[in-house]
């Protein structure tokens, strides 16, 4: 029991990763069902039978909810931060261990409650992870809008509390537990990422909680915040007053957009650290890079309206949101240029974590470049409800986020188990995943440009008349199935290497951040974010010798 | 005296590196240094006897920042809903917002809550009186606890009084025909705002009771201080939030 109900942050980090693993397995299976349904809509599922339209929508909703909350938010933020943050800032412990454990168990509770939605009458919720009213506010508006929707509200409400406690703990830890010499400008970039993401969590999830409360009140307490006057649902007039569905969109996206950055900022910090480590250079423009992470977080709070261009929002507001959204491209570009500058001088060691970090960069560029396109209200009017948007957020948020999670797992695996993961399997996993991820999500740009709508259960009528749409769909599905299958390689690698992997030694990557310091090293940061006393003590007894490290480095490079 | 009058030794060194007029070698890798602060030995974070206390205070601060956003979201919805309306068939603008007459007892409740903030602050300060704390450290009895406990009990009573007052306000509103499920959006917001704040205050009462138990049970002085201090800051924050919400309900309907 003490191993499970622990307050040890490392164990909690592992438990968080297990939670994410459970969620990602369920979420991936749901997404594969979605893809299969798109090319064989009349295929009967083995036990279940024919998939009805509402089942398809329920799959989309649950896939989105599981992936966004329990994978992209949980693993990089709470999971990795619990695993390494205390060691990385030389503090060794969290500020509030019991609060931390409470946050984890709330997340588990939220996950279990969410899965329960599959098993209630009328089934899981169907209105997408954004749950736009008035449909979501009226229990009688369709299947899945009854108990399933209430369960979704309860689950996400619990998740809000969990994320909130976790963020309080992380912020207090970063502020109070840093070791001697680790000033603000000497924190590793991962810590900057976690810190900005935690601030966003505090600000955004609180707003979501308020929105959930209002929606719950609309559904059960007879209020009418989101249901417009005289709204007709299933032949009945619903709602009591002049509620505004737009109000929900504002509240939801004020959470929903920062959520994207909560998912990606830890990955950005991690990629910076991994690039610096495997290119053997200090971070170029450290202060700028850290500042840009903060700028992305700050601007991220001001752009929610770009999800609402087609919602009937005031067009002048659309202009303002278009400007703030395009402004985000500036710090993001600075980050990308910073990474390219860091990588530009050759001598990279292409280990598996490095490959996944490069994959992250590649997806960040490929998905990010379409962001400014969608930031134009006029273009968005055409593209918004097409697969273009699906391709965009799956590349920039989902794939970039997942690749940063993979990078983190391959990178910190020796820290957890004392063993390295199999490099060959890792590289194979990387290349298959990279090609299949592009094979899955890049064609969505083309089908979106051709006008293929999203949220449709099946393609019929004029949409299928575009030459190649169905062929494109088939290609996407086969690519997605391969992508899913390739992850079995990763699972095998994790569980095999944890027991049989090659012993890693103290610091297999010659990393310079504190979590790799030997247990007895004096923890005092002396020069920069990637330079501490203990590291030089390991490489050479007294003084820091770059020659020495270079020799080790070259020897290690030759082994690769 | 402004610092510019006396040139710091580091500054002198940088102005005149003594290498024949070449620019000085800036040996700062990432920052820090140069401003007279010895960054190499800089203690980051907080250390010392108050470290634990300040850590918990920070936790309360961050939690309350998130909570503030919760109320800000509800208040934003309040203003949006207030200005929502539609045009009827004759092109008249119709708004269903009927301002709700706030029950006068809320003024009394506000006074009670303000009073409770004062009592808890007095109680909180008792735990930081140096002479008393010193005596507790030395094991010469528990003067600070004895001084603080009555004030915390008074706060508990006043908090209960406030909640009872809010309940009476709800009852009065129901009698006046404003129920939660009545069609007036202003009454939804009234119940929602007072309800959410009341739930927070209930949590504050639980914290107060926990602090009172902690005062008698906790062995270490600083833990007793933390229990009372964090409860007090939470309580003050709820008082501030209430002022904010009360002003909203009274003057911005």
> Taking the domains of chain B in order of start, what are their residue ranges?
63-251
CA atoms lying within 13 Å on the CB side of residue A286: 23
For chain B, what is the mean pLDDT? Answer: 84
User: Taking chain A (560 residues) in consecutive chunks of 10 residues, what is each chunk's mean pLDDT?
Assistant: 78 95 96 92 87 92 96 95 91 90 96 95 91 90 90 97 96 88 85 96 96 94 87 82 90 95 95 90 88 95 94 90 94 95 86 96 94 92 94 95 96 92 96 97 92 84 67 92 96 94 87 81 65 49 43 53
The DSSP bridge pattern shows strands A44-45 and A49-50 to be: antiparallel
Chain-centroid distance of CA B191 in Å reads: 22
pLDDT per residue as tens digits for the range B200-218 = 999 999 999 999 999 999 9
Give the Cα separation of A126 and A151 in Å (integer): 12
DSSP letter at A4 equals T
The confidence score (pLDDT) of residue B43 equals 55
Q: Identify the helix (H) or strand (E) that includes residue A474.
A: helix A469-500
> Is A397 in contact with A363 (CB distance < 8 Å)?
no
* Cross-chain CB nearest to A211 (options B42, B73, B183): B73
The confidence score (pLDDT) of residue A543 equals 34
Q: Nearest CA to B126 among B51, B228, B58?
A: B228
Closest chain B CA to residue A239: B183
DSSP lists the bridge partners of residue A524 as: A180
Structure tokens at B198: 């009341």
> Is A363 in contact with A403 (CB distance < 8 Å)?
yes
The confidence score (pLDDT) of residue A39 equals 87
Domain containing residue A161: CATH number? 1.20.210.10
Average pLDDT of the residues in B140-149: 88
Q: What is the number of structural domains in chain A?
A: 1
Give domain status of residue A196, yes or no.
yes
Contacts of B96 in chain A (CB under 8 A): 229, 241-242
Question: How many residues are there in chain A?
Answer: 560
Contacts of A285 in chain B (CB under 8 A): none
- DSSP, collapsed to helix, strand or coil, labels residue A238 as strand
Q: Nearest CA to A79 among A145, A22, A142, A3?
A: A22
The confidence score (pLDDT) of residue B86 equals 78
The confidence score (pLDDT) of residue B29 equals 42
Q: Do A203 and B65 touch (CB under 8 A)?
A: yes
Average pLDDT of the residues in B100-121: 95
- Lowest model confidence (mean pLDDT) among A487-491, B72-76, B87-91: B87-91
Instruction: Give how far B36 is from chain A: nearest CA, Å.
Output: 15
Give domain status of residue A4, yes or no.
no
pLDDT over 60 (residue B33): no
Q: Nearest CA to B51 among B226, B220, B212?
A: B226
- DSSP, collapsed to helix, strand or coil, labels residue B29 as coil
Domain that holds residue A242: 9-557
pLDDT over 50 (residue B52): yes
Instruction: Give how far A211 is from chain B: nearest CA, Å.
Output: 8
For chain A, the farthest-separated pair of C-alpha atoms sits apart, in whole angstroms, at 82
Closest chain A CA to residue B98: A241
* Cross-chain CB nearest to B42 (options A91, A183, A225): A183
Contacts of A210 in chain B (CB under 8 A): 70-71, 73-74, 77
Give the Cα separation of A387 and A150 in Å (integer): 29
* Cross-chain CB nearest to B185 (options A178, A241, A527): A241
The band of B224, judged by pLDDT with boundaries at 50, 70 and 90, is very high
Structure tokens at A73: 């938010």
Q: Do A251 and B77 touch (CB under 8 A)?
A: yes
Alpha carbon of A36 to those of A32, A39, A473, B136: distances in Å? Answer: 6, 6, 10, 71
Give the Cα separation of A354 and A24 in Å (integer): 23
Quick one: CA torsion of A296, A298, A299, A301, rounded to 10 degrees?
120
* Cross-chain CB nearest to A223 (options B32, B80, B188): B188
Q: Do B31 and A203 touch (CB under 8 A)?
A: no
The confidence score (pLDDT) of residue A307 equals 94
Give the Cα separation of A440 and A436 in Å (integer): 6
Contacts of A531 in chain B (CB under 8 A): 29
Average pLDDT of the residues in B71-80: 94
Instruction: Give how far A248 is from chain B: nearest CA, Å.
Output: 9
Q: Do A242 and B84 touch (CB under 8 A)?
A: yes
Task: Give every CB contact of residue A94 below 8 A, 6+ residues apart in sequence.
Answer: A9, A82, A85, A86, A100, A169, A173, A177
Give the Cα separation of A214 and B77 in Å (integer): 9
Task: Give every CB contact of residue B221 below 8 A, 6+ residues apart in sequence.
Answer: B133, B136, B137, B144
Structure tokens at B97: 């917002």
Q: Do B66 and A286 touch (CB under 8 A)?
A: no
Alpha helices in chain B (DSSP H): 9-15, 51-82, 105-126, 130-138, 143-175, 185-217, 221-251
* Cross-chain CB nearest to B42 (options A181, A206, A229): A181
pLDDT per residue as tens digits for the range B164-175 = 999 999 999 999
Task: Give every CB contact of residue B204 below 8 A, 6+ residues apart in sequence.
Answer: B159, B231, B234, B235, B238
Q: Do A214 and B66 touch (CB under 8 A)?
A: no
Instruction: Give how far A258 is from chain B: nearest CA, Å.
Output: 14
Instruction: Give how far A532 is from chain B: nearest CA, Å.
Output: 11
Q: Do B66 and A250 touch (CB under 8 A)?
A: no
Phi, psi for residue A341 in degrees, rounded to 5: -60, -40
Instruction: Give how far B68 is from chain A: nearest CA, Å.
Output: 8
The confidence score (pLDDT) of residue A354 equals 96
Phi, psi for residue A126 in degrees, rounded to 5: -125, 0
Q: Do B58 and A99 touch (CB under 8 A)?
A: no
The confidence score (pLDDT) of residue A544 equals 37
Q: What is the CA radius of gyration of chain B?
A: 27
Reported CATH class of domain B63-251: mainly alpha
Contacts of B54 in chain A (CB under 8 A): 176
Angle in degrees, 0-180, between the axes of helices B51-82 and A189-220, rounded to the nearest 10: 40
Structure tokens at A557: 């490079």
Give the Cα separation of A280 and A342 in Å (integer): 9
Q: Do A185 and B67 touch (CB under 8 A)?
A: no
Contacts of A243 in chain B (CB under 8 A): 81, 84, 185
The confidence score (pLDDT) of residue A140 equals 86
Contacts of A228 in chain B (CB under 8 A): 86
Instruction: Give how far B147 is from chain A: nearest CA, Å.
Output: 29
DSSP lists the bridge partners of residue A456 as: none
The confidence score (pLDDT) of residue A83 equals 93
Alpha carbon of A67 to those of A110, A111, A196, B40: distances in Å? Answer: 14, 11, 21, 43
Give the Cα separation of A109 and B26 in Å (integer): 54
> Is A305 in contact with A321 (CB distance < 8 Å)?
yes
Q: What is the DSSP string of B144-169?
A: HHHHHHHHHHHHHHHHHHHHHHHHHH
Give domain status of residue A3, yes or no.
no
Q: Nearest CA to B51 among A88, A194, A524, A95?
A: A95
Mutation target vs B (from A100, A225, A289; most B CBs, 10 A cutoff): A225
Phi, psi for residue A45 in degrees, rounded to 5: -70, 145
Q: Do A228 and B86 touch (CB under 8 A)?
A: yes
Contacts of B40 in chain A (CB under 8 A): 181, 526
The confidence score (pLDDT) of residue A522 equals 65
The beta-strand segments (E) located in A87-204 are none
Closest chain B CA to residue A100: B59
């Amino acid at each position: 029991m003490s191993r499970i109900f622990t307050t040890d942050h490392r164990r909690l980090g592992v438990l968080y990763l297990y939670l994410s693993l459970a969620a990602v397995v369920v979420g991936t299976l749901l997404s594969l069902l979605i893809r299969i349904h798109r090319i064989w809509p009349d295929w009967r599922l083995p036990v279940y039978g024919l998939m009805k339209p509402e089942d398809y929508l329920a799959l989309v909703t649950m896939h989105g909810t599981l992936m966004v909350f329990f994978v992209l938010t949980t693993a990089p933020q709470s999971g990795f931060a619990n695993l390494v943050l205390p060691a990385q800032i030389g503090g060794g412990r969290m500020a509030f261990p019991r609060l931390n454990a409470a946050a984890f168990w709330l997340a588990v509770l939220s996950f279990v409650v969410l899965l329960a939605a599959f098993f209630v009458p009328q089934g899981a919720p169907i209105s997408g992870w954004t749950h736009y009213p008035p449909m979501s506010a009226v229990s009688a508006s369709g299947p899945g809008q009854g108990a399933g929707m209430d369960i979704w509200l309860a689950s996400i409400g619990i998740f809000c509390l969990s994320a909130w406690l976790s963020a309080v703990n992380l912020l207090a830890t970063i502020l109070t537990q840093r070791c001697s010499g680790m000033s603000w400008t000497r924190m590793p970039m991962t810590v900057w990422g976690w810190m900005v993401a935690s601030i966003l969590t505090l600000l955004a999830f609180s707003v979501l909680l308020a929105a959930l409360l209002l929606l719950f009140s609309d559904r059960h307490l007879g209020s009418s915040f989101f249901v417009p006057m005289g709204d007709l649902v299933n032949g009945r007039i619903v709602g009591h007053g002049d509620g505004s569905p737009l109000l929900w969109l504002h509240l939801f996206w004020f959470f929903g957009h920062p959520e994207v950055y909560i998912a990606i900022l830890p990955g950005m910090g991690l990629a910076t650290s991994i690039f610096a480590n495997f290119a053997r250079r200090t971070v170029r423009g450290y202060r700028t890079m850290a500042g840009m992470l903060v700028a992305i977080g700050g601007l991220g709070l001001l752009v929610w309206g770009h999800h609402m261009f087609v919602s009937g929002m005031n067009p002048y507001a659309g202009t303002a949101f278009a400007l703030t959204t395009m402004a985000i491209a500036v710090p993001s570009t600075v980050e990308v240029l910073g990474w390219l500058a860091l990588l530009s001088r050759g001598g990279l060691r292409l280990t598996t974590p490095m490959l996944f970090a490069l994959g992250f960069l590649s997806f960040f560029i490929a998905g990010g470049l379409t962001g400014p396109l969608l930031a134009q209200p006029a273009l968005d009017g055409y593209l918004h409800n097409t697969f273009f948007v699906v391709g965009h957020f799956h590349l920039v948020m989902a794939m970039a986020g997942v690749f940063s999670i993979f990078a983190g797992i391959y990178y910190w695996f020796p820290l957890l188990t004392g063993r390295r993961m199999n490099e060959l399997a890792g590289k194979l996993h990387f290349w298959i995943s990279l090609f299949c991820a592009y094979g899955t999500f890049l064609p969505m740009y083309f089908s979106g440009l051709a006008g293929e709508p999203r949220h449709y259960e099946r393609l019929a009528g004029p949409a299928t008349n575009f030459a190649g749409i169905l062929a494109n769909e088939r290609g996407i599905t086969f690519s997605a199935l391969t992508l899913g299958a390739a992850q079995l390689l990763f699972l095998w690698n994790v569980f095999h290497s944890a027991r049989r992997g090659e012993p890693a030694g103290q610091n297999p990557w010659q990393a310079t951040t504190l979590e790799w310091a030997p247990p007895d090293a004096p923890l005092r940061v002396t020069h920069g974010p990637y330079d501490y006393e203990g590291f030089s003590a390991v490489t050479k007894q007294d003084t820091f010798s770059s020659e020495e490290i270079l020799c080790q480095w070259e020897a290690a490079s030759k082994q690769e | 005296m402004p610092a510019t009058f006396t040139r710091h030794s580091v500054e002198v060194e940088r102005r005149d590196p003594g290498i024949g007029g070449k620019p000085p070698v800036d040996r700062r890798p990432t920052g820090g240094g140069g401003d007279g602060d010895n960054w190499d030995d800089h203690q980051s974070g907080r250390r010392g006897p108050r470290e634990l206390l300040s850590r918990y205070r920070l936790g309360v601060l961050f939690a309350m920042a998130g909570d503030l956003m919760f109320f800000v979201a509800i208040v934003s919805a309040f203003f949006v809903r207030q200005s929502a309306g539609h045009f009827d068939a004759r092109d008249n603008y119709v708004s269903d917002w009927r301002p709700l007459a706030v029950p006068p007892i809320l003024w009394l409740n506000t006074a009670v809550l303000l009073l409770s903030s004062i009592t808890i602050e007095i109680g909180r300060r008792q735990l930081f009186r140096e002479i008393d704390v010193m005596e507790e450290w030395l094991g010469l009895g528990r003067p600070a606890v004895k001084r603080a406990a009555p004030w915390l009990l008074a706060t508990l009573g006043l908090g209960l009084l406030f909640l009872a007052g809010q309940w009476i306000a709800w009852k009065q509103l129901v009698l006046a025909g404003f129920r939660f499920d009545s069609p007036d959006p202003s009454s939804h917001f009234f119940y929602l705002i007072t309800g959410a704040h009341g739930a927070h205050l209930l949590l504050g009462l639980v914290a107060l009771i926990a602090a009172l138990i902690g005062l008698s049970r906790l062995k270490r002085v600083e833990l007793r201080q933390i229990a009372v201090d964090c409860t007090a800051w939470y309580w003050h924050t709820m008082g501030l939030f209430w002022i904010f919400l009360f002003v909203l309900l009274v003057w911005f309907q």
